[in-house]
Amino acid sequence: MSMRRIHPPQPHLVQSAPLADMPRRGEGTTMRLLPVAAAVLAAALSGCAAVGPDFERPKVTEPAAWRTTLPVPAQATAEPAAAAPVASADMANLAWWKAFGDPKLEALVQLALDNNKDLKIAAGRVREYAARLDIAKAQELPSVSARGSSNREKMSEERQVPLSNRTPVNSAAYELQAQVSWELDIWGRVRRTNEAYLADLTAIDENRRALTLTVVANVVASYVQLLALDQDLVLLKKELASRQETARLTESRQAKGGFSMLPVFQSRMVMEEAAAAIPPKEREIAATENALSILLGVEPSAVARARALNDLKAPPVPQGIPSQVLAQRPDVRMAEQNLIAANARIGVAKAEYFPVISLTGLFGYASTDLSKLLTAPASFGSAGTQVLAKLFDGGALDANVRQAEAVQALHVDAYRKAVQNAFFEVEDALLFYQKTRERADVLTRQLKAAQEGARYARKRYEGGMGTVFEALEAERQLTSAERLQVDVQRDTQLSLIQVYKAMGGGWKVAAPDILDSNAAVVSSSTN
């Protein structure tokens, strides 16, 4: 049966012959050259290729164009969503929520970016991973430690074996020393480790960006929904006023004409039905304000509005090709960085097959006389190399490599899933917008017909030709059409928000890029 490399049972540092003897008087030149020689050797070794696979982005199937094609609206139309399309070449930089033309909305988005607790937690995680990267990069540099000691001792003169006349009763010892250890990254273990930690940092920052995009989109969507609820409440109160007037007119006609009380009871019933719909709507408005307050990172409170729903401008429809979406979506970028980290850790695991080679040095001074401690005769030191190799581990190294490869394969599938999900969300958002616009055209015609019908029924009733039931039904149909109009206006704006979110718009300008301060780290680690 084959034998695996093992760990010897004791500490297993193999000490080579010293690189140079420590100097005596006037022999410091050789020792001063050792750091230079070590630096030259390390520079030469740094050119060695790191073990493990280099990263290659997995191939994915990209559609040439989106399934849903949005026509460019005519500029002459007065529709709020008639803005010209905008290219998505740099969608990440686009502060699309400003296109709504509502200063209160812009202020709310900024408040959320400043105060949202999830964003603060995400920013803290980025700082944590930046520190982890700094810890990993420290392995590239020598480790230097220093130690100093002093000791005074008095020996007993009343011993069983007396001290000789030459043995001093009182003695002292002073020592200063520095130890240096520097792992030579011949196999690239340290470089692969740094590559993995850099990818971890980038991935966690992409997660922060994805969260930023979600928070911004949710704030804007909640604000639009709040404006829709406000408009709905206005329509409910308008309906109540109309039914109160119908009930008053019915009661007046009954008192004068003496006809059946049934129309009176019917008009009162529908009036109270309209009144009963108002408190739930007010509760829904307050609940939406409370939910929006959580996104804003403030205590539950009323939210100021600057515009009504139908006064909001509509952002231009973003247009872009699938490859641009992959470059802009922070969740896809995060999946890629997770894959880069997993790929690098295969190299870290494979580097464990090879011995760890380090340069070591010990330098210092020791003397029994403090005044002579820092003199040349009191100096001591050594320099050499250390080799640590695993000889047998019961198959742990092989298992570590298999585990790293399995994790890498898992992240390949996760990356492809993120790409697939991105394409799905864009297609779904574009379809949502397209069908909402088509529905808006139908509901506009319906509203016009309902308004004409309500006016006609009202005239017939006031002229004594129609019944109260006809008038109430016409009013109900008009109110329903008006509320559907509010719904489609809301959905048109929400569909645009969904398109911008799906295409990865607005995360770069929304929050400071924490990685900017590590640009030098990123550059040096990826070259």
The number of beta carbons lying within 10 Å of the beta carbon of residue 66 is 17
Contact 38, 174 (CB under 8 A): no
pLDDT at residue number 231: 93
Is 201 a member of any domain? yes
Is 309 a member of any domain? yes
The CA distance from 177 to 366, in Å, is: 8
- Give pLDDT tens digits for 457-497: 888 877 777 777 788 788 888 888 999 999 999 999 999 99
pLDDT at residue number 191: 94
Cβ neighbours of residue 11 closer than 8 Å, sequence gap 6 or more = none
Count how many domains the chain has.
1
The CA distance from 276 to 435, in Å, is: 33
pLDDT at residue number 88: 52
Identify the burial level of 85 via C-beta atoms within 10 angstroms of its C-beta, where 0-12 means exposed, 13-18 middle and 19 or more buried.
Answer: middle
The number of beta carbons lying within 10 Å of the beta carbon of residue 177 is 16
The CA distance from 178 to 37, in Å, is: 19
Contact 68, 431 (CB under 8 A): yes
Residues of the chain with confidence (pLDDT) below 50? 1-37, 39-40, 43-44, 73-84, 519-527
The CA distance from 241 to 275, in Å, is: 9
The CA distance from 302 to 291, in Å, is: 11
pLDDT at residue number 294: 94
The CA distance from 31 to 474, in Å, is: 102
Tokens of 468: 């109260």
Burial letters 214-251, b for 16+ CB under 10 A, else e: bbbbbbbbbbbbbbbbbbbbebbeebbebbbebbebbe
Q: What letter would DSSP give residue 146?
A: E
Alpha helices (H) along 258-328 = 262-276, 278-296, 322-328
Angle, alpha carbons 474-478-484 (nearest 5°): 145
pLDDT at residue number 87: 54
The CA distance from 197 to 186, in Å, is: 19
How far does CA 221 lie from the centroid of its chain? 20
Q: For 20, phi and psi rounded to 5 degrees? A: -160, 145
Is 365 a member of any domain? no
Tokens of 425: 């969300």
CATH number for 449: 1.20.1600.10
For residue 31, give the nearest of 474, 466, 361, 450 by alpha carbon. Answer: 361
Domain that holds residue 123: 50-61+110-139+186-354+407-526
H/E element, 64: none
Is 230 a member of any domain? yes
For residue 13, give the nearest of 389, 520, 425, 487 by alpha carbon. Answer: 389
Is 224 a member of any domain? yes
Is 81 a member of any domain? no
Dihedral sign for Cα 290, 296, 298, 304, please: negative
pLDDT at residue number 489: 93
Contact 55, 408 (CB under 8 A): no
Cβ neighbours of residue 38 closer than 8 Å, sequence gap 6 or more = 182, 359
Is 323 a member of any domain? yes
Greatest CA separation found in the chain? 143
Is 250 a member of any domain? yes
> What does the H/E/C string look like for 116-144?
CHHHHHHHHHHHHHHHHHHHHHHHHCCEE
SS3 (DSSP) at 387:
strand
